[in-house]
Structure 1
Amino acid sequence: MTERPAMTPRPPHNDLCDDALDWQVVLHSGNAGADDHERYQRWCASSPAHARAAREAEALWGDLGQTQAARTLHTKPLSRSRRRWPRALAASIMMATIACTGWQQAPMWFSDYHTAMNQRQTFTLADGTRVTLNGNSALSVSFSDTRREVVLQAGEALFDTASDPRPFVVDAGGEPVEGRHALFSVRRQASGAEVVLTRGEAQLGERQLSLTPDAEARTAWQRGKLIFNGKPLGQVLAELERYRHGRIFISDARLAGLEVSGVFDLDQPDALLRTLEQRYGLTVTYLPLLAVVR
């Protein structure tokens, strides 16, 4: 018998570290004025905790973008092709994108809970487990007297499991993920579930998982952030696709390995593309449901 989760409002986020990172995003956006810098200084001076968070955020920001690939690009700009894409090819890509997008929405129709593009939702299950769904995600819940099971039909979810003698199992289309007094996220992928364990114990199939070293960065989406530190451009764009409509293509395969670092605002995904253009000398061409990076 399926138990419906009780919806609860998402608690306000008051973490000073996240506030400090927000300030770094603003100050390095290219649009910050003197008033912004003055307000930041007042924020830093408001308490020792604010000052400490600011120092940590500034140090993190200073480390980002200092990869060898980034330095090379700054000294030697990438060549840019001026040729336009043939109209027939662009039209074919857009039609394939539309068909793919429609197919990807199918799990939403059969789920108990789902989110739209770039929407995050937090709710509490009947056993007290808190679940946060990432954008374009779908979840079904099926609890019994002996087992707590949820099916992640699409996307990604963060689980903070409640104490309960029944196993808590996540079905993401491959080997089951079981968490015990744990805080962990599961992303459904064609190759199987990707699990990030922040606290407690979890196992994937028969394999016991260890705590994920960069768990805070990899689950920063729940706080409205995307954090990359030396990630290949191909992976960054694949991640970004999950938060905006349409597809992103790299016209030059050699760019896929370009190392990218930064802290970005998840609620402004196109701002990330603009930052990549400015910081790494790229060009982005926008078409309906398609962005081409070269």
Structure 2
Amino acid sequence: MTRDLQPLGMPVSSSGSSNAGVSDARTHARARRLRAEAAVWVVRIDAGRATRDDARLVRWCARSAEHQAAFDAASTQWQHADTLRAQPAVVAAPSAPSPNRRPRFSFTFTAPRAAFACAFAAAGIGLALYLHAPDFTTSAGEVRTVALDDGSTMRLDADSAVDVRYDEHERRVVLERGRAAFDVKHGDARRFVAQAAAGEIVDIGTAFQASLPDRGDAALVTVTQGRVAVRNSAGSVEAAAGQSVQYSDAAHAPNTVIVDTFAATAWQRGRIVFTDASLADVATVLNRYWKGHFIYVRGSAAALRVSGNFAIDAPGQALATLAETLSLRSTRIANRVVILSAQDPTDGQ
């Protein structure tokens, strides 16, 4: 017999005043969050990573009057800090910027700006973190398609992150984590560059995907249409549709490798395809798509070879099929952690 238990430390409200307290706390928390998000937008604009007519900022401000008010207040404070920049600096100030270019944000602060930035940090912003936070992310089990500002399309695999850095000269996207596929819009004079680890993929009229490794240190680029140039500081190579390029670090030039393109791009069609992969690698991939769960392969079972075609939205079903087909012992802990091991009880860890 089971029963629901009241979690320890969770008070049971017995009066209207308690509810009012909770409501006030939520209101204050929302206000703090809006101030922090507004501050991030102001810093991004000052750093040259966004503009006031950025579509994402416009949508954010349009969510409510509170959003717009928070942005206006943050802008006013930041502009006020700008007017005081002639004050003595805490450390040596950077060289004067060109009169034709708006000063970019720097961590070498004058006293007023330092105080303002510290106020942001005290509000829980974490200024440096936000400046480098990816623009688009996906969590485990989430695959999403993003329409970029130039009309290009980007598809993010689960547990991935991408930063978009478009300017007047170049369309650059930085793959911070996971895997992304790009269908590049042509007719734009700016070149399109995808940066992944120690290399760059330059579009030559194409659709391609780039992935950072789950394990190891090799990045992989697979071309599905047109051509790309893949390069790093050690060299470069061009690849056409159906070809793949791999590079490990800046000390080794990219090289063309043989990859099953159908299997490599299956995630874009909602499938996971394995061809003679180790069970350990299969588990790593399934963990990407199974939100809130973790699969661990124990002992000799990790080296078992697997080939199969599974739906990315049904990792639990894929796991059950693998356990049955390979005659594995499946042990669950709190219905979240799944341990796969060989049936032999003497199998070591």
Give distance in 2, aligned partners of 1:168 and 1:266: 29
Written as runs of structure 1 = structure 2, the 5 A alignment for 1:134-283 is 134-163=157-186, 164-189=188-213, 191-205=217-231, 206-210=236-240, 211-212=242-243, 214-244=260-290, 245-252=292-299, 254-283=300-329
Give distance in 2, aligned partners of 1:249 and 1:257: 13
Segment of structure 1 superposing worse, 214-223 or 267-276: 214-223
TM-score by length of 2: 0.51
- Displacement of 1:5: 7.3
1:229/1:125 Cα in 2 relative to 1: closer, same or farther (>3 Å)? same
TM-score by length of 1: 0.60
1:292/1:5 Cα in 2 relative to 1: closer, same or farther (>3 Å)? farther
The higher-RCO structure (CA 8 Å, 6+ apart) is 1
Give distance in 2, aligned partners of 1:186 and 1:111: 16
Give the conservation status (yes or no) of the 8 Å contact 1:237–1:248. yes
- Displacement of 1:161: 0.8
CA-atom RMSD in angstroms = 2.5
Counterpart of 1:149, as a letter, is R
- Displacement of 1:191: 1.1
SS of the residue corresponding to residue 283 of structure 1 reads: strand
Give the conservation status (yes or no) of the 8 Å contact 2:175–2:195. yes
Greater share of helix residues, 1 or 2?
1
Counterpart of 1:291, as a letter, is V
Give distance in 2, aligned partners of 1:209 and 1:258: 33
Give the conservation status (yes or no) of the 8 Å contact 1:241–1:248. yes
Give the conservation status (yes or no) of the 8 Å contact 1:228–1:263. yes
Counterpart of 1:118, as a letter, is G
| Unpaired runs of at least 5, structure 1 | 7-105
SS of the residue corresponding to residue 136 of structure 1 reads: coil
2:149 equivalent in structure 1:
126
- Displacement of 1:160: 0.6
What CA deviation, in whole Å up to 9, does each residue of 1:92-148 have, x standing for no partner?
xxxxxxxxxxxxxx89x8121111221111121122111011111111111122211
Give the conservation status (yes or no) of the 8 Å contact 1:182–1:199. yes
What CA deviation, in whole Å up to 9, does each residue of 1:211-266 have, x standing for no partner?
335222211112211112222222211211211234432211x3333221221111
The structure whose Rg is larger is 2
Give distance in 1, aligned partners of 2:229 and 2:157: 22
Give distance in 1, aligned partners of 2:237 and 2:293: 36
Percent sequence identity is: 29
Which consecutive aligned stretches of 4+ in structure 1 deviate over 4 angstroms post-superposition?
A: 1-6
Give distance in 2, aligned partners of 1:280 and 1:5: 51
1:201/1:234 Cα in 2 relative to 1: closer, same or farther (>3 Å)? same
Counterpart of 1:274, as a letter, is A
Give distance in 1, aligned partners of 2:201 and 2:217: 14
Give distance in 2, aligned partners of 1:143 and 1:215: 29
Counterpart of 1:260, as a letter, is V
Written as runs of structure 1 = structure 2, the 5 A alignment for 1:6-85 is none
SS of the residue corresponding to residue 131 of structure 1 reads: strand
Give the conservation status (yes or no) of the 8 Å contact 2:279–2:297. no
Q: How many equivalent residue pairs?
A: 194
Segment of structure 1 superposing worse, 271-280 or 281-290: 281-290
Give the conservation status (yes or no) of the 8 Å contact 2:140–2:287. no
Give distance in 1, aligned partners of 2:55 and 2:309: 33
- Displacement of 1:278: 1.2
SS of the residue corresponding to residue 199 of structure 2 reads: coil
| Unpaired runs of at least 5, structure 2 | 1-47, 57-128, 244-258, 342-349
